[in-house]
């Protein structure tokens, strides 16, 4: 197999294998827009599965990770499509959602948006393919492991500096990022070994493919929510045109984009569960969300938030208010007790799992945060538009369970970031305009998912309204003997 063919196969196979996994999990759907969702979401799933296969079978020959993992990877794809076909044959077809007759103006607008999106991907993809790894954290943290493993030809564990100094094993290595998760490293090894060399531009262009895959998945999901074609594509354009996201694609190497798009894809699938109660979409959302901690350490924080709000959604409506009020009261009380104990013991720091230890104190970084969000060329008009949308569509939160649950999850996530930036020494990340924006970026695709939910028509086929659900639960309670 030639180098070019292998590299192309490394791109195509994830869509086929991941698409099979996506279809096997999601099954037959009544939505008419699942094809782009299956290709886009399936590609991201397929890349993660490819990295996992390479990790399992290519430890002793990392330079040939692609060829070593290929038989197992193809077998997984065949098994996934077999399961998908069996499931599709057993489950009766539902009625597909009708595709609205678009006006001439909306069709023209759709094609113009599509042309501009394709042109933008061409520009940022071309930029990513022309340079080696450039950003500091990219080459010092996220490329050091896969590059070392590829050039040495075998997997070598990375340990802490103290363990490295106290150990005589010559195969041990250390780095400042020794404890970072390694899923993204094996993704890079998958594409590098398919290319036949450690070619950083060919590896870096994967960041562009990841964004394109999410754009496809998001368009399919948002069309299934009932959004007009041009509205769904306008949301896609709004996301892929954000300067900071484009910078993470063109200057490929950071893990933040992968965290953002993985969380966004999990949120897309979870939204389908919230709206239509499709169990397979909940399984998809859970499986995708579990990948977050093995991409980057702070992914654990977003996973906890995701699972916590998902658990709240499963609580019956008549008990949910008790949970929504009780949990914050318990957390605030616990925080006050911890603060009293810390002040009594002289301890003024807190340890955040996966992020580190931070000293507690108020830091006035509001000016830097406002500049970063509203005046610097990072986000276009995103943070001007989002508050307006929330105000204009505020009544949707009363009757739309999906909007409430997504809003609650993002409220918790942004509250965590507020506490991190304003109450700990992580405020330095905001003052020097570095990691603060990168952490905010990890939530932006999910913000767009919430925007799509707020913009969608209120009634969709198969949707269980809040009022109906309350009436059903009330009737059930009345029929149950005391």
Q: Which two tokens stand for residue 454?
A: 């707020």
pLDDT of residue 48: 97
Kindly provide the b/e burial profile for residues 149-179, where b requires at least 16 CB atoms within 10 angstroms of the residue's own CB: bbeeeebbebbeeeeeeeeeeeeebbbebbe
CA gap 362, 425 in Å, rounded: 9
pLDDT of residue 476: 39
Q: Which two tokens stand for residue 140?
A: 């010092």
pLDDT of residue 331: 59
Mean pLDDT, the chain, integer: 84
Check: CB of residue 134 under 8 Å from CB of residue 201.
Answer: no
Percent of the chain predicted with pLDDT > 70: 80
Give the phi and the psi of residue 315 in degrees, each rounded to 5.
-75, 135
Distances (CA, A) of 365 to 265, 353, 381, 423: 31, 23, 21, 10
Q: Which two tokens stand for residue 154?
A: 């075998």
- Count of alpha carbons within 13 angstroms of residue 154, beta-carbon side: 4
The DSSP letter of residue 153 is: S
Task: With residue 270 as reference, give the H or E element that holds it.
Answer: helix 256-276
Q: At what angle do helices 104-128 and 206-224 cross, to 10 degrees?
A: 160
pLDDT of residue 421: 86
> pTM of whole model > 0.85?
yes
pLDDT of residue 480: 42
Of 293, 271, 251, the closest CA to residue 409 belongs to 271
Check: CB of residue 229 under 8 Å from CB of residue 40.
Answer: no
Give the phi and the psi of residue 360 in degrees, each rounded to 5.
-95, 130
List all residues 6 or more positions away from 69 whose beta carbon is below 8 Å from its beta carbon.
Answer: 50, 53, 54, 56, 57, 58, 190
Tell me the per-residue pLDDT of 274-319, one tens digit each, with 9 for 90 and over: 998 888 899 999 999 999 999 998 899 999 999 989 888 877 766 6
pLDDT of residue 2: 45
Helix%, strand%, coil% for the chain, nearest 5? 70, 5, 25
Q: At what angle do helices 229-240 and 444-455 cross, to 10 degrees?
A: 160
Low-confidence stretches of the chain (pLDDT < 70) are: 1-3, 27-33, 89-102, 317-360, 458-482
pLDDT of residue 294: 95
Q: Is the dihedral of CA 448, 24, 298, 177 positive or negative?
A: negative
Of 248, 258, 220, the closest CA to residue 379 belongs to 248
């Amino acid at each position: 197999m030639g180098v070019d063919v292998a590299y192309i196969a490394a791109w195509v196979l994830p869509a086929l294998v991941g698409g099979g996994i996506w279809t096997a999990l999601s099954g037959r759907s009544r939505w008419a827009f699942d094809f782009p969702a299956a290709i886009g979401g399936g590609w991201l799933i397929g890349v993660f599965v490819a990295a996992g296969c390479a990790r399992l079978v290519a430890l002793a020959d990392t330079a040939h990770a692609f060829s070593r993992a290929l038989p197992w990877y193809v077998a997984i794809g065949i098994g996934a499509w077999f399961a998908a076909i069996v499931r599709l044959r057993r489950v009766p077809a539902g009625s597909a959602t009708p595709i609205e007759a678009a006006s001439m103006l909306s069709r023209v607008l759709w094609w113009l948006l599509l042309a501009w999106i394709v042109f933008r991907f061409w520009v940022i993809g071309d930029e990513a393919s022309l340079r080696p790894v450039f950003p500091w954290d990219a080459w010092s943290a996220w490329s050091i492991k896969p590059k070392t493993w590829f050039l040495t030809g075998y997997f070598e564990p990375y340990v802490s500096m103290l363990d490295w100094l106290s150990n005589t094993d010559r195969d041990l290595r250390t780095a400042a990022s020794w404890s970072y998760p390694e899923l993204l490293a094996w993704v890079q090894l998958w594409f590098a070994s398919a290319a036949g060399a450690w070619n950083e531009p060919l590896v870096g262009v994967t960041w562009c493919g990841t964004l394109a895959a999410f754009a496809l998945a998001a368009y399919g999901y948002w069309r299934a929510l009932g959004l007009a074609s041009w509205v769904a594509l306008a949301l896609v354009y709004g996301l892929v045109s954000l300067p900071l996201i484009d910078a993470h694609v063109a200057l490929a190497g950071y893990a933040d984009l992968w965290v953002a798009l993985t969380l966004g894809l999990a949120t897309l699938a979870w939204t389908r569960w919230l709206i239509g109660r499709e169990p397979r979409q909940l399984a998809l959302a859970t499986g995708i969300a579990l990948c977050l901690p093995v991409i980057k350490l702070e992914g654990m924080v977003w996973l906890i938030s995701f699972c916590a709000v998902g658990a709240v959604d499963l609580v019956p409506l008549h008990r949910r208010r008790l949970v929504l009020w009780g949990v914050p009261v318990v957390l605030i009380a616990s925080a006050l007790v911890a603060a009293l104990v810390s002040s009594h013991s002289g301890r003024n720091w807190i340890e955040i799992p996966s992020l580190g230890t931070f000293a507690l104190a108020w830091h006035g970084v509001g000016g830097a945060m406002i500049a970063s969000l509203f005046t610097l060329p990072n986000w276009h008009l995103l943070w001007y538009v989002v508050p307006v949308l929330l105000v204009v569509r505020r009544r949707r939160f009363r009757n739309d369970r999906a909007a409430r649950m997504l809003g609650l999850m993002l409220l918790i996530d942004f509250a965590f970031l507020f506490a991190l930036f304003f109450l700990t020494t992580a405020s330095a990340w905001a003052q020097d305009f570095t990691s603060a924006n990168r952490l905010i970026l990890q939530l932006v695709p999910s913000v767009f998912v919430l925007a799509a939910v707020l913009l969608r028509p209120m009634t969709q086929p198969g949707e269980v309204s809040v009022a109906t659900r309350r009436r059903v639960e009330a009737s059930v309670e009345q029929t149950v003997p005391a």
